[in-house]
Structure 1
């Protein structure tokens, strides 16, 4: 049985029976049939369904947010924000989908030519637990708008959320089977996903998760000659130059690192500060971190909840200990919290540098690594010293200077005087080991379409 656990106290929430291979095959067959039918539905009707979806999200916000908090420990206010962001995204595509998917005429002498964005069929989605609804909806909404179907393999520890998402789409009037959930036991996931990618009924695959899982899915998609979108790890740099507003930068740094208890690929993880203002920034940053409230995520005064699983907490502890052994300095926190639940102290390590786990690796939890740069050029070198390339945040009083520096660091997004975030109006995705492909905006809506050329002589 798949057992979901409340990470705030370690108690069992529910049990779910995994599907047998025969049941999986039946679900895939029904989903593929539903996707084929949905692709022939006129675009205005598909977009109208997104408006109903937004209404259902808001109508069921309290129940869905409570489920998210129970299954993975997200503070309740953040869980509610996740639902609202999903609703806003559905409304965005309902409003703009017609224009984005419209045929594009191409001027060619002697012929009438255009490009049409057509559905491709059933898309397999392998999704993570850290944003149980938002991660799914930011992929599913544009994919459905484009006329495709969704086959969801969610993380086992948020199985309740996965099934609630399936019910949500049914309540919004989407055809039965168009959004289908697979309940797969953890040991069976790799072989099942590989088999599904090879299945002719699956048109493409998207994964948000670890680099190891991404490598496996990307390889399987390559063997099957199918489109893949991979949103993988991140170790975003948060660069503070000497001319920045230090108070604003420090306050934003806390939000950028400790939102969702630090469990986000797009959280800032490496804080690179110019030497002349390093002491002041670190003092403010550490004090703000000390003021965070840790505890029961259903308590609205709590800002940092538990980690989602105990094994994740243990891995984070090892990263901290290995970094301290390599010369990092502990400014605050640094250890797991005794008692029920999977809590870890909000932690700041200073004196970090390349070669230390907290600098080189993705830290998925409330741990911030601070490095000091001699000057702006050194800050660029440190920010670029990573295998990842998801987001970048630069703080300076001269925005043009921040933009110029950002062009020397390869990432999927660069934010100046703001923390990195996703927005339905802008494409989201990474470079290097942070993956490939884009979600959201125009790129996300067209990602799983066939841009088909028409030429009429």
Structure 2
């Protein structure tokens, strides 16, 4: 769609109590493919954050008391509107984040599905009725909304990270204040307009956009009326937020960093593994917490796997996401390019071989060549740190045990991938991998109907599935004497 026409549909103010509010200050949103300014967006301060939480708290009781079916119907309308406005949402995501337009359309479908899924779950909030073991009393449990929620979303999936939090919160009967990343606020602001059009009551969802996250988060986090924090982002920031949440004993959901191993066992179907490696590594320009970060390939097939992966990587077309031919877009900013370059240079200095790519691309925008590294030494930083870019480092292993041992040598545990033709072998490997999610013979497993989340320092709690709804519910027990 035409860029100007789409941008004209986005309201650039703070979304508070059902209205878009202008502020004296603004900040710029840039196109990572060109560096051009896309928009000047309202820049919130502490008073706007407080006003947003006030709005969420004023209507919290009314929304909690709203019939589940009514909440469900509103979410269903929101789903339908997102689908109907799919071209606009996809264009906005590509413009402000850089992913290829085809992938942005995929995120529209994925992100919208959270509203459809949780519209169905809204009427499935259940309790239990049992007799006490010694008889007499009856034991009744019910689930009730946690209360007002503060949701903080990242820049790499501007729509889906919002719907994955707003959907279950509204289904459970919670109100929300959401803060999108300053690099990609446009998609979220258009989502606010869409929710308003879908009939979400004023104040039930509020959005603050700011160039200073700490300044707007402080008054929200310190307010005793806030009952839950949900955050997707880096482990470093997540640790800080957990410390702040401790003062209010807040319910928390944390979807943090990843360092996903991609394990290819000796009996794997190499063509299938290569086909899975491409989206696992290069989807979303490599900027995903679930991205394959470390490739552990058995020595008997490593040459074949490597040659075929390089051949596929060299087919990628690097360019602006709005170009229909592009299959790999820019990174989000110059800092991202510099970090990827630093990690690649470190690996090469320690002995890794560059088979393709290996460097930034000169010119406008923030581009890095799709890269495959072989003979990567185990001391290389990119085996320990999240790359967040289009780089596939390959390490040769001798046995299943060695592959699993190396895969688990990380503080992270979000996603892992494993390939084998032997069901017993692959299940055994999957059970041993220290990860909240394991993709078996596939490169993509994210699904709104599945619980998304990690172990170790990759986070707390789950998003999606019925487990995602329960993150926004508290259990109340009634002991009833008869």
**Structure-1-length-normalised TM-score:** 0.97
Alpha-carbon distance in structure 2 between the residues aligned to 1:230 and 1:151:
16
Whether the 8 Å CA contact 2:121–2:469 is kept in 1: the answer is no
Whether the 8 Å CA contact 1:332–1:346 is kept in 2: the answer is yes
Give per-residue Cα distances to partners, 1:382-420, cap 9 Å, x unaligned: 111111100111100112211111222211012211124
Residue 255 in structure 1 maps to residue 279 in structure 2: yes
Gaps of 5+ in 2: 1-25
Find the residue that maps to 1:388 and give its secondary structure. coil
Q: CA deviation at 1:292?
A: 0.8
Per the alignment, residue 120 of structure 2 pairs with 95
Per the alignment, residue 421 of structure 1 pairs with 445
Give per-residue Cα distances to partners, 1:104-161, cap 9 Å, x unaligned: 3334332332221100211101110000000110111011100001111110111212
Which of 80, 105, 123 in structure 1 is aligned with 2:105?
Answer: 80
Q: CA deviation at 1:358?
A: 1.2
Alpha-carbon distance in structure 2 between the residues aligned to 1:432 and 1:208:
15
Residue 164 in structure 1 maps to residue 196 in structure 2: no
After TM superposition, where is structure 1 displaced by more than 4 Å over at least 4 residues in a row? Answer: none
The correspondence of residues 242-391 of structure 1 with structure 2, limited to 5 A, is 242-391=266-415
Find the residue that maps to 1:156 and give its secondary structure. coil
Per the alignment, residue 68 of structure 1 pairs with 93
Which of 41, 54, 60 in structure 2 is aligned with 1:35?
Answer: 60
Whether the 8 Å CA contact 1:391–1:420 is kept in 2: the answer is no
Per the alignment, residue 8 of structure 1 pairs with 33
Give per-residue Cα distances to partners, 1:264-284, cap 9 Å, x unaligned: 001111111001110000000
Q: CA deviation at 1:96?
A: 3.4
Per the alignment, residue 134 of structure 1 pairs with 160
Q: Which moved more, 1:147-156 or 1:83-92?
A: 83-92
Whether the 8 Å CA contact 1:194–1:217 is kept in 2: the answer is no
Alpha-carbon distance in structure 1 between the residues aligned to 2:47 and 2:166:
25
Q: How many residues align?
A: 454
Alpha-carbon distance in structure 2 between the residues aligned to 1:55 and 1:154:
22
Whether the 8 Å CA contact 1:53–1:168 is kept in 2: the answer is yes
Find the residue that maps to 1:98 and give its secondary structure. coil
Q: CA deviation at 1:191?
A: 4.1
Q: CA deviation at 1:22?
A: 2.1
Alpha-carbon distance in structure 1 between the residues aligned to 2:372 and 2:239:
31
Give per-residue Cα distances to partners, 1:35-92, cap 9 Å, x unaligned: 3321110111111111101111111111111111100101111111111112222222
Residue 199 in structure 1 maps to residue 228 in structure 2: no
Alpha-carbon distance in structure 2 between the residues aligned to 1:11 and 1:192:
27
Per the alignment, residue 146 of structure 1 pairs with 172
Whether the 8 Å CA contact 2:140–2:480 is kept in 1: the answer is no
Give per-residue Cα distances to partners, 1:310-341, cap 9 Å, x unaligned: 21111111111111112221111111101111
Residue 400 in structure 1 maps to residue 424 in structure 2: yes
Find the residue that maps to 1:389 and give its secondary structure. coil
Give per-residue Cα distances to partners, 1:241-280, cap 9 Å, x unaligned: 1111001111110111000000100111111100111000
Whether the 8 Å CA contact 2:46–2:215 is kept in 1: the answer is no
Alpha-carbon distance in structure 1 between the residues aligned to 2:391 and 2:339:
12
Q: CA deviation at 1:444?
A: 0.4
Alpha-carbon distance in structure 2 between the residues aligned to 1:251 and 1:51:
35
Whether the 8 Å CA contact 1:266–1:421 is kept in 2: the answer is no
Q: Which moved more, 1:349-358 or 1:2-11?
A: 349-358
Whether the 8 Å CA contact 1:272–1:379 is kept in 2: the answer is yes
Whether the 8 Å CA contact 1:307–1:344 is kept in 2: the answer is yes
Whether the 8 Å CA contact 2:351–2:376 is kept in 1: the answer is yes
Find the residue that maps to 1:455 and give its secondary structure. strand
Whether the 8 Å CA contact 1:309–1:342 is kept in 2: the answer is yes
Alpha-carbon distance in structure 2 between the residues aligned to 1:3 and 1:221:
30
Q: CA deviation at 1:223?
A: 2.1
Whether the 8 Å CA contact 1:354–1:360 is kept in 2: the answer is no
Alpha-carbon distance in structure 2 between the residues aligned to 1:3 and 1:67:
15
Give per-residue Cα distances to partners, 1:204-256, cap 9 Å, x unaligned: 10110111210110110112211111111101111101111001111110111
Alpha-carbon distance in structure 2 between the residues aligned to 1:121 and 1:93:
17
Find the residue that maps to 1:305 and give its secondary structure. coil
Q: CA deviation at 1:94?
A: 2.0
Find the residue that maps to 1:195 and give its secondary structure. helix
Whether the 8 Å CA contact 1:197–1:204 is kept in 2: the answer is no
Find the residue that maps to 2:253 and give its secondary structure. strand
